[in-house]
Amino acid sequence: MTDIGQQVAPAQDNSDAGDPEAPELRHRVMAGYIGNVVEWYDFALYGYLAGVIAPVFFPADDPTAGLIATYGIFAAGFIMRPLGAAVFGWFGDTYGRARTMQISVAMMALPTLLLGLLPSYETAGIVAPVLLVLVRLLQGLSVGGEFSSSVTYLVETAPEGRRGITGSWANVGSMTGSLLGVGAAALVANLFDPQALGDWAWRLPFLGGAVLGTTAIMMRRNLHESQRFEDHHNQRDDTSPLLEAFTTNRHETFLALAFAAGYGTCFYIAFVYLPEWLAGQGLMARGTALTINTAMTVVLIPVMPLAAIVGDRWLPRRTWIALAVALLAIAAWPLYYWMQQSHGSMAAVVATHVLTFLLLAVPLGSGPALFAEMFPEKDRLSGYSVAFNLGVGVFGGLTPMIATSLIAATGAGTMPAIYMTFAALIAVVALALTPDRSRSPLR
């Protein structure tokens, strides 16, 4: 086990870069990128249009219950992520990453199309919400396998010394997809009157998502299998990779889970909860806070690959991420206190967004490669998928509810910052116990 600041000597990486049969790097990167665009486009779109969708699929006489049910179905998609992680992780470790990527994106694209075509409650009665539930559960299952499968494939096929920047494109895709989802929801909301939007126009962005999904399927159609997977596949025994991840490599799995939960919590506080906190504390109008948050997300997209380059070239990946997350732990409470004491001044709010988003760009950019490097080939996708989806999908996804509960229980408006500090410290401790393999060949 290496110390957190220790460099590891550069080594040759057994990637597909020298394989003349392997697809071009640009093709591989775009195939990984586009799948994550589709995945997060749909999830963001559903979340933003939930209020419009609720009356379509649930009885109109109880709109509140309908909205709660619609958001509940949204949450059910997240709950399916760990199951999808287990299923796709096992499949990818057993049959290959390329096949897994093809299946996961198809399982996202088809339900997106179906959601745009589902009958309303008025037309089909109870069948309509049942179909909606089934569609969302299927999508949640595919989400559990998409991100980690694409990261594993990208990192395993990356050229020597470029695992960080190559893996970062999965997060570039997820951020791009989220922005497209928000933009599509805003577009139809502004182009159509409320009556048309509720009657039929809400379906247009979902049908557009099916076009994105078809593009992703076509791009992944001719993906070659990772040469690293092929080289190790014939040496496998009959032990389940899922079992391997929780027995032989349980140390790596639990460290990855702790890191994912810590940084995932910080991510959700900054990217999802901060606008709501500003509005809830009476510091800024919700629309203004969302605009700042969205603008910073646009700025963040090109920063993530740049942050990944630092981990590839200058600082060991683990050290680089630990430094950024530790700074986030230190800065969180002063920044929230500043926003509160300045009554939501534009300078305080923008400065908080800039600093937290730039610091989070480091784990978002370099984190995918670090996760893949933690596990050996035999159970890499299983361990990564389960740890990531439990950590970010479950612990991270609960963050808004926990932060709100902490404020209600204590009466302290800065509790989300204290919670962020706690989560960031957990991530740093996990990193301190994790060997740095950013300069070593994949195992």
The full DSSP string for 62-112 is -HHHHHHHHHHHHHHHHHHHHHHHHHHHHHHHHH-HHHHHHHHHHHHHHHH
- The CATH number of the domain where 373 resides is what? 1.20.1250.20
Is 7 among the domain residues?
A: no
With bands split at pLDDT 50, 70 and 90, how would you rate the model's confidence at 332? very high
3-state secondary structure of 340: helix
Instruction: Determine the pLDDT at residue 235.
Output: 66
288 shares a domain with 232: no
Residue 195 neighbours by CB under 8 Å, 6+ apart: none
**SS3 per residue for 215-231:** HHHHHHCCCCCCHHHHH
Residues 329 and 432 occupy one common structural domain: yes
Q: Which of 236, 253, 275 is the last residue of a domain?
A: 236
> 3-state class of 334 per DSSP?
helix
Q: What is the pLDDT of residue 23?
A: 53
pLDDT band at 236 (very low <50, low <70, confident <90, very high): low
**Does residue 4 register a pLDDT over 70?**
no
Whether 267 shows a pLDDT value over 80: the answer reads: yes
Q: Judge whether 181 lies within some domain.
A: yes
62: alpha, beta or left, given left = phi > 0 and alpha = psi -120 to 50? beta
Q: What are phi and psi of 437, to 5 degrees?
A: -120, 20
Supply the pLDDT for residue 98: 87
**What's the total number of domains in the chain?**
2
**Which tens digits make up the pLDDT trace of 309-321?**
999 999 999 999 9
Please give the share of the chain, as a percent, with pLDDT higher than 90.
48
Count of residues in the chain: 443
Residue 7: is its pLDDT beyond 50?
no
- The per-residue pLDDT for 126 is 81
Residue 38, in any domain of the structure: yes
Whether 4 is in a domain gets the answer no
Give the HSE-up count for residue 322: Cα atoms under 13 Å, Cβ half-sphere.
19
pLDDT for res 393: 79
Q: What is the mean pLDDT of residues 147-165?
A: 92
Chosen domain end from 184, 209, 236: 236
349-362 pLDDT, tens per residue? 999 999 999 999 99
Out of 236, 260, 295, a domain closes at 236
Chain segment 390-439, per-residue pLDDT in tens: 998 788 878 888 888 899 899 999 999 999 999 999 999 999 999 999 99
Residue 392: which domain range?
241-443
Looking at residue 380, its pLDDT comes to 93
